């Protein structure tokens, strides 16, 4: 039966229960990922048989889209996010769906996008480690295993496997960006019979992208026709300085020659499966390709197959500028270590600064990369195509804004304008993401030894802990751009304060770290006696009234 309304004809069915499912959505993205987050489905419907026509208002930013954004129920839409060019952080938006008609219904869908920094990569070199011993000779000299990180601070532990003739020291520590940690590797071959012996050093860094690096320690001698399986890196940007490449294959020995085209390269035998070779800057001046070949001369020898090494062109582009400890952006402070993310910023292979001689500061040009704050060049800590770290010049003090540009091979990026703050404190964290456990050490005041603070080595209340930060601002006496700290500060910065678990902590020392660059600071503080214990007790650093990033913790018992 059809019911008629005298004014308007048959009565329309009543629309009830207008809804969208789900009403909350979350997306995650890691900087550098080639694949964007997968679109999510949004179902729009009513609880009645009647259809509803609706439109959608999208708020939060251009990174959020919905397709289709309007229509008639029931309807299945797709919600997409595009985090390209967004900096590390959490972004929120809303989808407000409203029906048409005299009594519209509205439903709001909350959307959250979390953009994370890529985890740093742990690199252990050389790998493998090789040593030659002749019975009757003196023991081989200790070797140095260099542990480095591609960006964030990493704590590590090292263990041995497969041999009782190998020892290492230390077995744990911390690696700062551009400041490799050295592990001494000692071989005691006394009484060993001739042959091939192999052991491994397993270096673990749970916060690294690769978590474990296994370095083989062996003695091998091979000859015959070499096989070249791969090289690393496979490319650099035109104009790069002399570049060391690693060759992986087999049947390498001390007489193996490495060539790029017809040019013989300076090369080093690492082991029977690995060599390094230096491609001179003269071969990297312009774009093109080089054929890399390994050759064993003499009977039974010859050339390996060639691997291609590419020299590419690129223009620098800045995507984000953040505090190297907190990964927060928006402002810079005098002396702050900043990390710049982008493309074409430097060579394909991460290059760290060469320690200066004497009292000279760290250079402002590294592998033809420069970072300019207005017209002042900054000390460059490390550079690569996608990531550069530099020390904000102290002469930005007193400015309200500063224009930042990256120059690579004389080509400059567009400028990014940053606000200048008196201080921008950031605490270095073990995860290298700006949150979580701080890189901190517990001090035994009796022995003077430091132990890495962790879930299994908590700090006792009333004892001293040391942690690290950047973004202090102008210092007294004044610091020099890029200077390597040679002596500790005379006392704590009076404008600096620390709270642990909401309780004021006594600061015993704050200032430069001997051997590290000015702008990286160490804070020694005594844990308050009245703080509540726990494995994740909040810790906040305040300098000149400005607080460090939230969600930094330390373990207290």
The predicted-structure confidence for 60-77, as pLDDT tens digits, reads as follows 999 999 999 999 999 999
Chain length of the chain: 557
Find all residues with CB under 8 Å of 35, minimum gap 6, and list them. Answer: none
Nearest to 241 by CA among 380, 408, 355: 408
Query: Domain 227-312 adopts which CATH fold?
Result: Immunoglobulin-like (2.60.40)
pTM for this one?
0.48
- CA–CA gap between residue 105 and residue 526 (Å, rounded): 58
Q: What is the average pLDDT value for the chain, to the nearest integer?
A: 91
- CA–CA gap between residue 179 and residue 149 (Å, rounded): 9
Nearest to 232 by CA among 211, 249, 252, 250: 249
Q: Do domains 227-312 and 317-420 have the same CATH topology?
A: yes
Per-residue pLDDT at 552 exceeds 50: yes
**CATH entry 1.10.390.10 includes domain 4-116:** no
Nearest to 122 by CA among 438, 391, 430: 430
Find all residues with CB under 8 Å of 299, minimum gap 6, and list them. Answer: none
The CATH superfamily of 122-218 is Immunoglobulins (2.60.40.10)
- CA–CA gap between residue 263 and residue 32 (Å, rounded): 36
Look-up: residue for tokens 């050339």? 303
Per-residue pLDDT at 12 exceeds 70: no
Of the candidate ranges 4-18, 221-235, 361-375, the one whose mean pLDDT is the lowest: 4-18
Query: Is there a contact between 71 and 20 (Cβ–Cβ < 8 Å)?
Result: no
Per-residue pLDDT at 1 exceeds 70: no
DSSP type of residue 281: G
What pLDDT does 221 receive?
A: 37
What pLDDT does 107 receive?
A: 97
pLDDT level of residue 16 (50, 70, 90 thresholds): confident
Using one digit for the tens of pLDDT, what is the confidence trace for 357-369? Answer: 989 999 999 999 9
pLDDT level of residue 180 (50, 70, 90 thresholds): very high
Query: Domain 317-420 adopts which CATH fold?
Result: Immunoglobulin-like (2.60.40)
What pLDDT does 241 receive?
A: 85
Mean pLDDT (whole number) for 90-116: 95
Q: Which residue has the higher pLDDT, 472 or 235?
A: 472
What pLDDT does 298 receive?
A: 67
- CA–CA gap between residue 346 and residue 322 (Å, rounded): 18
- CA–CA gap between residue 423 and residue 275 (Å, rounded): 46
Tokens standing for residue 435: 């949150």
Strand, helix or coil for residue 396: helix
Cis peptide before 284 (omega within 30 of 0): no
Query: Is there a contact between 489 and 353 (Cβ–Cβ < 8 Å)?
Result: no
- Sorted by where each begins, the domain ranges of the chain are 4-116, 122-218, 227-312, 317-420, 426-556
Per-residue pLDDT at 6 exceeds 50: no
């Amino acid at each position: 039966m059809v019911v008629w309304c005298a004014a308007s004809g048959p009565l329309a069915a009543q629309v009830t229960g207008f809804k969208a499912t789900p009403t909350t959505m979350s997306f995650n993205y890691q900087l550098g990922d080639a694949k964007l987050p997968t679109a999510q489905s949004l179902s729009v419907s009513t609880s009645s048989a009647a259809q509803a026509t609706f439109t959608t208002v999208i708020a939060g930013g251009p990174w959020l889209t919905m397709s289709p954004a309007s229509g008639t129920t029931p309807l299945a839409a797709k919600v997409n996010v595009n985090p390209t060019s967004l900096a590390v952080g959490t972004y929120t938006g809303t989808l407000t769906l409203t029906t048409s008609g005299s009594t519209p219904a509205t439903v709001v869908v909350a959307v959250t996008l979390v953009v994370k920094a890529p985890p740093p990569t742990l690199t252990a070199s050389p790998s493998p480690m090789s040593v030659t011993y002749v019975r009757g000779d003196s023991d081989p000299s200790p070797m140095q295993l260099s542990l480095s990180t591609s960006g964030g601070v990493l704590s590590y532990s090292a263990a041995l496997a497969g041999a009782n003739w190998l020892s290492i020291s230390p077995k744990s520590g911390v690696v700062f960006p551009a400041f490799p940690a050295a592990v001494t590797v000692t071989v005691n071959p006394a009484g060993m019979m001739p042959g091939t012996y192999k052991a491994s050093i397993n270096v673990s860094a749970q916060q690294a992208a690769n978590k474990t690096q296994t370095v083989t320690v062996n003695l091998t001698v091979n000859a015959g026709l070499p096989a070249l399986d791969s090289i690393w890196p496979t490319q650099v940007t035109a104009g790069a300085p002399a570049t060391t490449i690693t060759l992986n294959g087999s049947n390498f020995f001390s007489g193996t020659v490495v060539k790029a085209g017809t040019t013989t390269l300076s090369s080093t035998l690492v082991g029977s499966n690995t060599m390094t070779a230096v491609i001179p800057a003269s071969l990297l001046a312009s774009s093109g390709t080089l054929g890399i070949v390994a050759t064993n001369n003499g009977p039974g020898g010859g050339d390996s197959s060639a691997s291609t090494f590419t020299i590419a062109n690129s223009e620098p582009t800045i995507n984000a500028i953040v505090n190297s400890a907190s990964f927060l952006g928006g402002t810079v402070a005098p002396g702050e270590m900043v990390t710049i993310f982008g493309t074409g910023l430097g060579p394909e292979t991460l290059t760290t600064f060469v320690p200066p001689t004497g009292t000279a500061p760290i250079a402002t040009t590294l592998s033809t990369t420069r970072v300019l704050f207005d017209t002042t060049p900054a000390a460059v800590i490390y550079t690569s195509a996608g990531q550069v770290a530099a020390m904000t010049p102290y002469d930005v003090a007193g400015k309200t804004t500063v224009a930042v540009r990256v120059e690579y091979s004389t080509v400059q990026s567009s400028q990014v304008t940053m606000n200048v703050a008196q201080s921008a404190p950031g605490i270095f964290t073990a995860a290298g993401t700006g949150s979580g456990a701080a890189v901190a050490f517990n001090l035994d005041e009796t022995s003077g030894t430091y132990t890495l603070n962790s879930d299994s080595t908590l700090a006792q209340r009333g004892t001293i802990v040391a942690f690290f930060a950047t973004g202090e601002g102008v210092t007294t006496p004044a610091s020099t751009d890029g200077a390597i700290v040679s002596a500790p500060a005379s006392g704590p910065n009076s404008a600096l304060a620390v709270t642990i678990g909401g309780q004021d902590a006594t600061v015993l020392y704050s200032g430069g770290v001997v051997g590290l660059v000015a702008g990286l600071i160490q804070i020694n503080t005594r844990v308050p006696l009245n703080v509540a214990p726990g494995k994740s007790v909040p810790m906040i650093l305040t300098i000149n009234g400005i607080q460090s990033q939230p969600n930094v913790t330390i373990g207290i018992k």
